[in-house]
Structures are given as structure tokens and as C-alpha cells.
Chains A and B, each alone.
Chain A
Amino acid sequence: MDITNLEKQVLEFIASKAENIDISKITTSSQFSELGFDSMDTIQLLFDAEEKFDINFDSDAVKNFRNVGDIIEYIKNHPPVAS
């Protein structure tokens, strides 16, 4: 997947899940908490991201996810799940 395109898709995905946050306010360094996601919301967000981008996050790696860039980096470095 094209990197720039991937970034755009992830930002659009985050914007679709955030409540009352405009996509122009979301960057790769945006922390989930800054975007209104509490800890349980973040777990749901990451599950939805797995579905959206056809990937399985490693359960240890996911505990260190703090910002939007962490999702993008993980997807870049891991191939999609064979479906």
C-alpha cells in the first residue's frame, strides 16, 4: 500500500470514529486521548482498525500504541492477514 495513501486512509478512519473532531485536526502524532478516545474507546478503535485494514495487531505491541502514527507504522511493517 502506498505510504501517503495509507496515512490518508488511517486519518480518515480515525476521523470517522472520533466524535466531534475534524479531520484537519488529526495528525500522525495525535494521541488517542487528545481525540476523545478513553482507554476502552481505544481498544474498540484498534479492533475496528484491524477489520478496516485487514490486519491482526500483536497483543503486546498494541499495549504501547499511543498515537495515530503507531497504527500507521504497524500496518506498514506487517502484511495483511490472508483472508
Chain B
Amino acid sequence: MRVVVTGMGVVSPIGTSVEQFWNAAVNGVNGIDKVQSFDVSGSNSKIAGEVKQFDPSSFLSAKYIDQTDRFTQLALHAAQQAVEDAGGLEQHYSPQRLAVVMGSGMGGFATFESSAFRKFQNRSIPPFTVPRIMANSAGAWIATKYGFKGVNLTCSTACSSGANAIGMGLELLRSGKADAVIVGGSEACVLPLTMTGFDALHALSTGFNDQPQQASRPFAKGRDGFVMGEGAAILVLEKETAAEHRGANIYAYLAGYGCACDATHIVAPDMDGQVTAMQTALQDANVALDQVDYINAHATSTPLGDVIETRAIKHLFMEHAYKLSISATKSMIGHSIGASAAIGAIAAIQTLRTQTIHPTINLAEADPDCDLDYTANHAVQKKVNTALCNAFGFGGNDVSIVFTNY
């Protein structure tokens, strides 16, 4: 039994539809700017990839807005695109067979921060503070809005949350627990406390506050940390035969999923776990190493992370590592934590559909320890049959997913 992707939706700093996002990505559009949503005068990192001019009232009632955090609103927007794109899910499947699996690293932290601030001032807090914060609220609201009554799960493995959610959706279909699954990730943590928290670990870029467009520079010389981002991306997964039978548009196969834990350090990356995730994903997809044409890298632009990922790719793929193409979506949109791999998955699928690899921007001069083909600065046309998407999170949570051409 094979699983296919039949619907997609994305909300990102460079586009709020798949077409807009992909057009921007191929053209290397930069979504990083000075933070606009709060006063950064007390923060070391003053830049981010924000989804600007996002107006939840354009698609949600006032009551929905009161009861939801921004990360849920971003997820609902992406879900609306994906469900409409897939079309006919409710007509072809019973509600109890329609599942939702979402990923988020932080959940409703915008609400957490604002309600905590109010509480410390002895002011009352919004009554929906808890259901807005809880990490499963995005998945619960998607189910509620569309009446999807099947399995409803939320995965929180930091920066790999979205990738695990996609993999969990694959397993639900394979095990027969659902007929269609809405999967993806969502994150909205361009926030003062959250950014200060990442900065306290020296994880964020702080040296490019005056040149925000140069700050997110995976694999490049002089990179000094990741740039906070936000967004959401959703895929609709179905069994191939059922999708074909109902005449759905099929974008790609979701062919494999691999998941591993470094089990070494809570935040520092480790090559072994990354190798295991990629290897098991490819075994799961029954794809040979030399069949991989493209890797949508995790590549956050931290000094250590990009080198470790490069080493992991070289260790696993050996000489083929120098033949395959790699690119870093985060070079344009920053790191949207639990949403990032779901956005990367959309990029990987679009690569298969268009046979175009989007660039890694800000890569004028590569770090000598990063010596693979990262598709520097300009998009490349190439025959791509198999794409791997990497996501490596705090906690040593490593995930790879494999998409192949339909």
C-alpha cells in the first residue's frame, strides 16, 4: 500500500499559498526583516521571518479568534488551503476515518507570554488562556472546523515536530487506522520571551540586526545562529488506490519515514542520530542511497548544526553526497521550529513537481567544512525523482521523510 499527497497549504514569511511560496522560494525572495510584532529594544536578536499582514478575521469569526492562539490561526489558514485543494474528503470518507496529526514545538506561546505578563501585573487573563496555549489546540480546531472525527494527535519534538507529524500520518494510513490524514506543523513564536530563551543558549543570530536579509545564511562563512521564523504547512495524505478511485489530484508519494534520537545532548546535534534517521527513512521507502536526487536540509544557519548535517550526509551517502543537490529553505524564511519541516516538505514536493531546486540564498562563500552542492543563490533545473526532507530538533530528535515522484 502506497501513500500519496493530495492537498497542500502553506503560510510563510514569503507567501501564504503554495503557488506564492514556491514562486518566491525559486526566486530566492528574502523573508527576514526587523521584528515588527513587538518592541525588540531589550532583545539581542532583533530580526525574524514574520508572516506579515496576516489577518485572521479574513477567514475566522470573532469567536474563533478570541479562542485561538496565533499558531492555531496559522494552522487553520494552511488547513483551509489544503482541505480545499484535496477537495471532496468529506464526501468520500466517513468523518470517523478522517484523522489529523499536527506538530508544534512551542504550542500557543503567544498566549502564554501575554497571559503571564498580565498575571504578573495582577490583571485578569483571557478565559481561553489554557485552550489557546495547549499544543493540541491546532489539531483540535482543524478537526472541529471540518468535522474530522477520527484519530487526532499532536507531536511535540521541537524543530522536528512537523516531520514527525507527517510520519505519524503515514503510519496511520499504513496501519489502517484512517482513510485520509491532515498532517503538518505550525508555530508562532516570534515572541519576546521565546526569542530571549533561544538567545540565552546562543542559538540565535545577533550579528546581523542591521542587515537582516543577510542573517539567515546556512552553510555560509560568518553565520552566527538561526533567525526566528513562524508559519504553518499542511499536507493531505491518502492511500494511493483510494485517491485514484475518487479522482484526486496526486502530487507525490510520501514514501518513507525515519526517526531516531541522538541520546547524547539535549540541544547539541549529533551525527549518528541524523544518519540513522536518513538511513531508516530511505530503507522504509525502499530507495537506494544513489537514487536520492535532492535533500531539503534542516540547515538552520547555526555554526555547529550545518557542519554536523553536512558530515552526516557525507557519512551516509559517501561519494554520492557530492552528486546530489541540497538546499536550505530557512535561508529565506528563518527557522519556524515545529512548522519548518512541514514547510520543507512542501518545498520538496514542489521540487518533484517542477523539477526545480530552490536556492540557498546568502551563500556567496561557503564554510570550508560545508563542501557539498547547496544550490547557492540561484535555482537549478534538474531531474529529481526522489527528495529527502531533514528535520533535527532539540532533544536530539532526528527525522527524515522521503517523497518520490508520482
Contacts and interface: CB of A to CB of B under 8 A. Distances in A.
A40 B127 contact: yes
A44 B128 contact: yes
B66 A48 contact: yes
Contacts of A47: 124, 126-127
Contacts of A2: none
B288 interface: no
A44 B126 contact: yes
B67 interface: yes
A70 interface: no
A35 to B, nearest CB: 13
Interface in A37-55: 40-41, 43-44, 47-48, 50
B1 interface: no
Contacts, number: 22
B230 to A, nearest CB: 25
Contacts of B128: 40, 44
A49 to B, nearest CB: 11
Secondary structure of the A contact surface, majority rule: helix
A50 B66 contact: no
Nearest to B122: A56
A34 interface: no
A54 B293 CA distance: 60
Most chain A Cβ neighbours within 10 Å, of B66, B123, B127, B128: B127
Interface string B41-72: 00000000000000000000111001100000
Contacts of A44: 63, 66-67, 126-128
Nearest to A48: B66
Contact of B63 (A41, A43, A56, A57): A41
A41 B67 CA distance: 10
Secondary structure of the B contact surface, majority rule: loop
Interface in A3-56: 17, 19, 40-41, 43-44, 47-48, 50, 56
Contacts of A19: 61-63
Chain A: interface size category: 10 to 19
A83 B361 CA distance: 47
Contact of A17 (B62, B126, B127): B62
A43 B127 contact: yes
A71 to B, nearest CB: 15
A50 B126 CA distance: 10
Contacts of B123: 56
A41 B128 CA distance: 10
A33 to B, nearest CB: 15
B124 A56 contact: yes
Nearest to B61: A19
Interface string A44-83: 1001101000001100000000000000000000000000
A20 to B, nearest CB: 11
B67 A50 contact: no
A66 to B, nearest CB: 18
A45 B124 CA distance: 13
Contacts of B62: 17, 19
B389 to A, nearest CB: 39
Contacts of B66: 44, 48
Nearest to A36: B63
A49 B379 CA distance: 53
A44 B63 CA distance: 9
Nearest to A55: B124
Interface string B67-100: 1000000000000000000000000000000000
Contacts of A40: 127-128
B10 to A, nearest CB: 30
Contacts of A50: 124
Interface in B126-148: 126-128
Interface string B296-317: 0000000000000000000000
A53 B356 CA distance: 56
13 contacts: A19-B61, A19-B63, A40-B127, A40-B128, A41-B63, A43-B127, A44-B63, A44-B67, A44-B128, A47-B126, A47-B127, A48-B66, A57-B124
Interface of B: 61-63, 66-67, 123-124, 126-128
Given A44-B127, A57-B124, 4 more contacts: A44-B67, A44-B128, A47-B126, A48-B66
Q: Closest 7 interchain pairs by CB?
A: A43-B127, A47-B127, A44-B66, A44-B127, A50-B124, A47-B126, A56-B124
